[in-house]
Chain A
């Protein structure tokens, strides 16, 4: 299987840093994506990792460890608009994505 596990909910305060973890089954792994999804909207691309290590892009960074089947998304200097669902997805086969259920992040003042 390709089970993808991530926490259901997280809360954090404006200006803080939050780390959202994701674990996945390693067989047939071809890459890992993070998407942001606001309520009622489509997922928007945040990051793509295929090699081990940290990829930094502004306030968002994503980390991958292929041997451990583990990734995290790091959000810095949280803003209210960052309240959303964050979806971890692994790529396999014909580049199809298998998504986790998403982590609902609530940022409070």
Chain B
């Protein structure tokens, strides 16, 4: 399978713990995105990478959130000192670096439950 893959698919953690999610984009896709989605809402943009450069961050991304894409391939999203409000599905997506019709493909998502 050559789609966007995310790991882990499900994570239950206690409040205050740190969690890290990994995303492997579709190969040849330069652009990588992180979104967060809660029940009954559309996905909300968190951050965007072009190759290894983090070009855009949402104001939703508090200081407890950090994302990296060190070699321009896979990416990690870390949440420190988790809070119950962080419970959501974290979606990774990728696309080509093209000026026309960059279709953005999503991974299966990583479900986070903070108890």
Query: A55-91: which have CB < 8 Å to B?
Result: 87, 89, 91
**Interface of B with A (CB < 8 Å)?**
31, 33, 35, 40-45, 48, 50, 55-56, 91, 95, 100-109
Show 7 residue pairs from A and B whose CB-CB distance is below 8 angstroms, ordered by the A residue.
A95-B102, A97-B35, A97-B45, A99-B42, A101-B40, A101-B42, A102-B41
**Interface of A with B (CB < 8 Å)?**
4, 31, 33, 35, 41-45, 48, 50, 87, 89, 91, 93-102
* Distance between Cα atoms of A94 and B109 in the complex (Å): 22
CB distance from A93 to the nearest CB of B (A): 7
| Chain A residues within an 8 Å CB radius of B106 | 35, 42-44
Most A CB contacts (10 A, CB to CB) among B55, B103, B104, B105 go to B104
| Chain A residues within an 8 Å CB radius of B50 | 94
| Chain A residues within an 8 Å CB radius of B102 | 91, 95
| Chain B residues within an 8 Å CB radius of A50 | 100-101
CB distance from B77 to the nearest CB of A (A): 15
| Chain B residues within an 8 Å CB radius of A102 | 40-42
Return the contact of B103 from the options A41, A48, A98, A100 (Cβ within 8 A).
Answer: A48
- Tell me if B56 and A96 are in contact (CB < 8 A): yes
- Tell me if B42 and A33 are in contact (CB < 8 A): no
